[in-house]
Amino acid sequence: MQAANLIDLDDVVHHAGGKPILSVAHLSLPPGRHGLLLGPSGSGKTTLLHALAGLLVPDRGRLSLLGHDLRAIGDAGRDRLRADHVGIVFQQLHLIHAVSIADNLRLARGMAGKAPDEKGLKALLIRVGLADRMNALPADLSQGERQRVAVARALVNQPALLLADEPTSALDDATCDGVIDLLLEQAALSGATLLVATHDRRLMSRLPVLLELAKPMERAA
Amino acid sequence: MNMLGLSLAYLRRRPLTTGLNLLLLALGVALIAFLLLLERGLENRLSRDVAGIDMVVGAKGSPLQLVLSAVMQVDVPTGNVPLAAVEELRRNPLVRQAIPVAMGDSFGTYRILGTEPAYIAHYGGQVVTGRMFEGPMEAVLGAEVAASSGLGLDGALVGSHGLTAGGEAHADMPYRVVGILARTGTVLDRLVLTPVSSVWAVHDHHHPEDKAPPTTGDHADGKAHEHGAGEGHDHEHAHHHDPDHQHDHDHDHDHDHKHDHDDGDGAAGQASSDDREVTAILVRYATPLAAARLPREINSQTSMQAASPAAEMLRLRALMGVGLDAMRLLGLVLVLAAGLSTFVALANALQERQYDLAVMRALGAGRGRIMGQILTEAMLVALAGTVLGIALAHAGVAALSGFSARARDLGLSAGQFSVGEVWLLGLSLLVALLAAAVPAIRAYRTDVSRLLAKG
């Protein structure tokens, strides 16, 4: 059965160190509707992304991905769901520096338990303009090239949902535009729905705000 | 890219740490594996040399020394026994075979052994060139002796006094090579074999007053063996031989053989042509009953002693075992040190790579896979270190066999592997597993979300 929404979320609350760090009343995201999770630092954007990716289980609330209740399916189920349907671009990129960029992508398939797909991998590297650097180590690339590797890695398993955490923070306007163009273009080519968590209000001109989060104190106020 | 490829990539990125861990483990494994190979070689040699010999009869003294000298040909004899004892034993219905051995001289580092063709037959020796010895001063060479000396048929060899190289040469009494034996992997290979009469002839020529074979130990090590009273007889070989004393052919060195046999058999009390002696008698029992009766009878009723090679070899193994155990312990300490070093390296690596592991989780890898990644890395080091160690041990054996005849004697072969080496691999993997367990569990328990949220 095909779920109507990629994401359905109701009354999700999460705490850390006894303090609330995330509180979301409702969020639904149908496939293909790219958007922003906007909020200042500390408002719980990353926590929400992690919850959507099944990397953490919120203390309470209902959270489903592609119709799967993330609270109910257990650790292994969340790992499987993430491997099959979610790609993540981290703020710090977190490429694996011990291996080449092609191996970063191969590893992403391997870790997701998927068979190697050299043809698909090369096509993806051509798409992000790195086909000629595929054997380079991440340390040998520019920041922009690394960003492209991170996006390619997030898309190598053809996820339904592409999550990007603060992809444009500390970038100048031109670079910021380049990154969001890259994300939108690659998400479109892969058929993935892009959800960007950011505090960068410049992106509001490029993507609709699906949810605006506030800091817990502001919420209390 | 799979876990194995990633582990190799991580190991390559830390060449110094990886290399040191490998080396530490390899040295420990090499030491233990080398000892295993050496021990097995020694064990095989002992088994081959004592095979089929149920009892050794010789002069009173240390039974281990008697077995080592008369069977293994590595120690000095305890003394001599009357030749008449050979015939007496042969008449005993409990005895299937009694083979006399007489020694006292050597050829280079090899012993010249006076005996009978039955001795050669006992070890399965076959004359491949020439014939068996028949008369005095005829010699049949063991395969190792022939190979290293280069002597062929009709070649002459001169024995020298004593059982170690460097003794006085009996140049006027050369042996003639009449046969060469095929390699047997036994003590035969490193002996010059001749009739007992040759040993007497050489000795008579140089010591006309004494009809016994030279009581060799005294000459060999320059010490007197005192076999004291206390068992109803006094059998004393006192070959006072000053090691600094120059040997020359006028035989002015001080030899004093005194054989006092109070048991009245008169076998060698007085030197005469009828009082010939041999160094020892190798005995095979006709019946298992003999084991219970014969040694006791000989030990209590004669001036001789009976020693069981099997029992003495057990004693020898126990004695050697202490040294070998100490060496093994050292090897084990090295293996454990390698385990500790692997643990430290992995713990540090985990700290460095915590984000890598978190990203792998984010890419869909389960906790088990992350644990597997850490364990794979440790196992790779353990496997490589163990293989390297075993290779080092075998290279060591090859090198040792290359330059040491004694090592070749043990039948050591670099191409042979022992079951112990498989166990060693198991031990290394277990140590690596234990070393990796704590880092792996820490990785398993990592809160990926919290870690990634930090940056």
The answer to whether residue B419 neighbours chain A at the CB level (below 8 Å) is: no
How confident is residue B210, by pLDDT bands cut at 50, 70 and 90?
low
Check whether B220 has a pLDDT greater than 50.
Answer: no
The answer to whether residue B358 neighbours chain A at the CB level (below 8 Å) is: yes
Amino acid at B64: L
How confident is residue B348, by pLDDT bands cut at 50, 70 and 90?
confident
How confident is residue B166, by pLDDT bands cut at 50, 70 and 90?
low
Which residue, chain included where needed, has tokens 């007197």?
B224
C-alpha distance from A150 to closest chain B C-alpha (Å) = 11
The average pLDDT across A115-128 equals 90
pLDDT at A217: 58
Compare all CA atoms of chain A with the CA of B455 and give the residue at the minimum distance. A92
The average pLDDT across B221-245 equals 35
Give φ, ψ of B264 to 5 degrees: 80, 5
More confident residue, B161 or B15: B15
The answer to whether residue A113 neighbours chain B at the CB level (below 8 Å) is: yes
What is the residue-averaged pLDDT of chain B? 79
Which residue, chain included where needed, has tokens 């000459």?
B219
Query: Which residue ranges make up each domain of chain A?
Result: 7-220
Q: How far is CA A27 from the centre of its chain?
A: 16
Residues A161-198 have pLDDT tens digits of 999 999 887 778 888 888 888 889 889 988 999 999 99
Check whether A10 has a pLDDT greater than 60.
Answer: yes
The average pLDDT across B251-261 equals 36
Which residue, chain included where needed, has tokens 């040491």?
B404
Contact A94 B359 (CB under 8 A): yes
The answer to whether residue B357 neighbours chain A at the CB level (below 8 Å) is: no
How many other CB atoms are found less than 10 A from the CB of residue A172?
9
Contact A88 B360 (CB under 8 A): no
Check whether B2 has a pLDDT greater than 90.
Answer: no
Nearest-CB residue to B1 (from A53, A76, A110) = A110
Residues B62-84 have pLDDT tens digits of 999 999 889 888 888 888 899 99
How confident is residue B57, by pLDDT bands cut at 50, 70 and 90?
very high
How confident is residue B214, by pLDDT bands cut at 50, 70 and 90?
low
The average pLDDT across B214-228 equals 39
pLDDT at B51: 80
Residues A48-103 have pLDDT tens digits of 999 999 999 999 999 999 999 998 999 889 999 999 999 999 988 899 999 999 99
Does the CA dihedral A69-A71-A76-A81 come out positive or negative? positive
Q: How far is CA A81 from the centre of its chain?
A: 14
In angstroms, the CA A49 to CA A52 distance is 5
For residue B14, which residues of chain A lie inside 8 Å, CB to CB? Answer: none
The answer to whether residue A170 neighbours chain B at the CB level (below 8 Å) is: no
Query: DSSP letters along B116-159, please?
Result: -HHHHHHTT--EEEE----STTEEEE-HHHHHHH---TT-EE--
More confident residue, B411 or A196: A196
How confident is residue B346, by pLDDT bands cut at 50, 70 and 90?
confident
Q: Which of residues 9-48 of B touch A (CB under 8 A)?
A: 9-10, 12-13
More confident residue, B312 or B410: B312
**Per-position b or e across B257-273, b if 16+ CB within 10 A of its CB:** bebebebebebbbebee
Compare all CA atoms of chain A with the CA of B368 and give the residue at the minimum distance. A76
Q: How far is CA A168 from the centre of its chain?
A: 13
Residues A200-219 have pLDDT tens digits of 999 999 999 888 888 765 55
Q: Which of residues 81-110 of A touch B (CB under 8 A)?
A: 82-84, 86, 88, 90-92, 94, 96-99, 103, 106-108, 110
Contact B71, B53 (CB under 8 A): yes
- CATH architecture of the domain formed by A7-220: 3-Layer(aba) Sandwich (3.40)
The average pLDDT across B3-18 equals 86
3-state secondary structure of B164: coil
Nearest-CB residue to B2 (from A46, A75, A110) = A110
Check whether B241 has a pLDDT greater than 50.
Answer: no
The answer to whether residue B350 neighbours chain A at the CB level (below 8 Å) is: no
The answer to whether residue B445 neighbours chain A at the CB level (below 8 Å) is: no
The average pLDDT across B15-27 equals 87
Check whether B242 has a pLDDT greater than 50.
Answer: no
pLDDT at B165: 62
Q: Which of B14, B363, B449 to mutate to test the interface with A (most CBs of A within 10 A)?
A: B363
Contact A94 B356 (CB under 8 A): yes
The average pLDDT across B317-332 equals 80
Contact B1 A82 (CB under 8 A): no
The average pLDDT across B143-161 equals 89
- What's this model's pTM, rounded to 2 decimal places? 0.68
Residue B9 vs residues A88, A96, A107, A220: alpha-carbon distances, Å: 24, 10, 12, 49
Least confident of A30-44, B242-256, B293-307: B242-256
Contact B176, B135 (CB under 8 A): no
Contact B449 A55 (CB under 8 A): yes
Contact B113, B101 (CB under 8 A): yes
pLDDT at B208: 55
How confident is residue B437, by pLDDT bands cut at 50, 70 and 90?
confident
Contact B75, B68 (CB under 8 A): yes
The average pLDDT across B158-184 equals 81
Check whether B268 has a pLDDT greater than 70.
Answer: no
The average pLDDT across B258-284 equals 57
The answer to whether residue A198 neighbours chain B at the CB level (below 8 Å) is: no
How confident is residue B163, by pLDDT bands cut at 50, 70 and 90?
low
Residues B252, B256, B262: CA angle, nearest 5 degrees: 160
C-alpha distance from B355 to closest chain A C-alpha (Å) = 7
